[in-house]
């Protein structure tokens, strides 16, 4: 039976959890430590929301947040956006530059913010999760398990703002320099009627 069930997915690991109760419905290699890539950003948002109440606070983009490799919304130094704008850029476009700017804004430094992320994970009982970055670019010491990622995600969904962000198909942001429209990269929001997030 287990062999047959494992044929249901090509994923190396997975954990399906009932959101309301936390009951595990299906799992495969759920406790294996694996890199989490951009799903890191689920905890990035959760950490921001736990430490900032004023989401419409205006932030001036720091040079450190510009030119980050990988997915980007192409922030420019000195540009002014709100924390809310950065959260949407983070989750809809997977903006690694947004991750760094949020880390600087909330934690004072990337290292300081990552420490806060690890504290959030530990507060949820995640002992097989360790963050090194706020965006998930590969690092051997940056990992989680399917079970613990599900736990972090379930906790994040308790926050109404998080739920609204990850369910959004588009978001428009106007800054001093330009108007951007963020289109959500998560194709499930269009292809599966019951999808309400979360992160590619």
- 21 CB-near residues (< 8 Å, 6+ apart): none
- Under a CB-based contact definition with an 8 Å cutoff, are residues 152 and 40 in contact? no
State both tokens at 25.
């419905």
Q: Which of 71, 72, 94, 199 is catalytic?
A: 94
CA distance linking residue 109 with residue 92, whole number of Å: 23
12 catalytic, yes or no?
Answer: no
Do the strands 24-28 and 14-17 form a parallel or antiparallel pair, or are they unpaired? antiparallel
63 catalytic, yes or no?
Answer: no
CA distance linking residue 27 with residue 31, whole number of Å: 9
Phi and psi torsions of 107, nearest 5°: -100, -10
Cβ neighbours, 10 Å, residue 169: 11
- 82 CB-near residues (< 8 Å, 6+ apart): 55, 56, 57, 58, 59
Cβ neighbours, 10 Å, residue 128: 14
Q: Which of 38, 71, 72, 199 is catalytic?
A: 38
Q: Which of 28, 41, 63, 72 is catalytic?
A: 41
72 catalytic, yes or no?
Answer: no
Could you list the active site residues? Answer: 38, 41, 94
């Amino acid at each position: 039976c287990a062999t047959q069930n494992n044929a249901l997915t090509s994923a190396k690991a997975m954990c399906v959890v009932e959101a309301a109760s936390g009951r595990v419905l299906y799992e495969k290699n759920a406790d294996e430590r694996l890199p989490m890539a951009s799903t890191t950003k689920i905890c990035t948002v959760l950490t921001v929301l736990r430490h900032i109440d004023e989401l419409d606070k205006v932030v001036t983009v720091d040079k450190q947040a510009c030119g980050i490799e990988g997915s980007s919304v192409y922030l420019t130094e000195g540009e002014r956006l709100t924390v809310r704008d950065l959260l949407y850029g983070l989750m809809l476009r997977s903006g690694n530059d947004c991750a760094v700017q949020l880390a600087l804004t909330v934690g004072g430094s990337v290292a300081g913010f990552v420490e806060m992320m690890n504290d959030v994970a530990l507060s949820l009982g995640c002992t097989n999760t360790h963050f090194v970055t706020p965006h998930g670019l590969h690092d051997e010491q940056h990992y989680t398990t399917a079970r613990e990622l599900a736990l972090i995600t379930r906790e994040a969904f308790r926050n109404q703002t998080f739920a609204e962000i990850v369910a959004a198909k588009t978001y428009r942001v106007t800054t001093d320099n330009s108007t951007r429209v963020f289109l959500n990269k998560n194709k499930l929001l269009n292809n599966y009627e019951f999808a309400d997030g979360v992160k590619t």
